[in-house]
Amino acid sequence: MNGNQIRGNRYRKNLRNTACAFLMALPTLVMAAATPGDKAPDFSEVDAAGKTHSLADYAGEWLVVEWFNKDCPYVKKHYGSGNMQALQKKYTDADINWLTVISSAKGKQGYLEPAEALEVAKSHNLNASAPFLLDADGSMGRAYGAKTTPHMFIINPQGQVVYAGAIDDNDSANPAVIPDSNNYVAAALDASLAGKAVDTASSRAYGCSVKY
C-alpha cells in the first residue's frame, strides 16, 4: 500500500468518525417536545406591545399557548372563519390565559416586527389574547417542540402540559370542515375544568411548518 492509499484510508476513517460523532450528537440538536404529563418548559418572551411574559407569570392558572403565522393557509382557515377568535374568547372569558406565539425567524415567512404584529393582532381581532409573543430566535418554539402553525398546548395550574397537538381532528385547510370537526382543545379544556380526564391528551399537529 503506497503513501497516497494510506492517506486516503486515514481521510476516509476520519470522515466516518466525524459523521458518527455528528449522528451521536444529533439527538441534542432535535427540538424538545412538551409532552402531556410533563412540566411545561420555562419561557420568557416579549410581546408586540413590549411586555415580557414568562411561565412563572401564570403559576396557579390555566394557560393555552398557540403558534401562529399569518401567511399559513391553516391559520387563515381558523382565523378567517373566526373559529380561533371564538375559542380564545370563550376560554379567556372563563379566566383561562391565552398566548399566541410567532416563532418565524427574521426574513422567513410570518416574521413580524412589533409594529406590524400589533397591526396584525388588530386585523385578526386578537382581543382575547395577549398581542403576539415575538419568538424570533425560536427559543420558545424549540423548547415546546412547536412544529406547525397552529400548534396548541394547554398547561394546567400546576405547570404541567395536559394537551399538545392540533386544534382539531380535520387537517383540511378548508374552513367548511370546521363545524363537523372534533375540537381537541375545547374538549381538553372542558374536561379539565370539570375535573375529568382528557380523552385525547396529544395528537398530530397539522399546518404549515414553523419557520425557524
Distances 161 to 79, 195, 211 between C-alpha atoms, Å = 24, 15, 23
24, 117 Cβ separation under 8 angstroms: no
Q: How many helices (H) and strands (E) does the chain have?
A: 6, 9
* Contact partners, residue 105, CB within 8 Å, separation at least 6: 111, 136, 137, 138, 211, 212
Tens digit of pLDDT at every position of the chain (212 positions): 555 554 545 545 444 544 433 333 333 334 568 899 999 999 999 999 999 999 999 999 999 999 999 999 999 999 999 999 999 999 999 999 999 999 999 999 999 999 999 999 999 998 788 899 999 999 999 999 999 999 999 999 999 999 999 999 999 999 999 999 999 999 999 999 999 999 999 999 999 999 99
* Contact partners, residue 9, CB within 8 Å, separation at least 6: 1
Give the SS3 label for residue 191: helix
Task: Give the amino acid at 62.
Answer: W
Radius of gyration of the chain (CA): 21
Neighbours of 104 (CB within 10 A): 26
How much is the pTM?
Answer: 0.85
Encode burial over 157-177: b for 16+ CB neighbours within 10 A, e otherwise.
eebebbbbbbbbbbeebebee
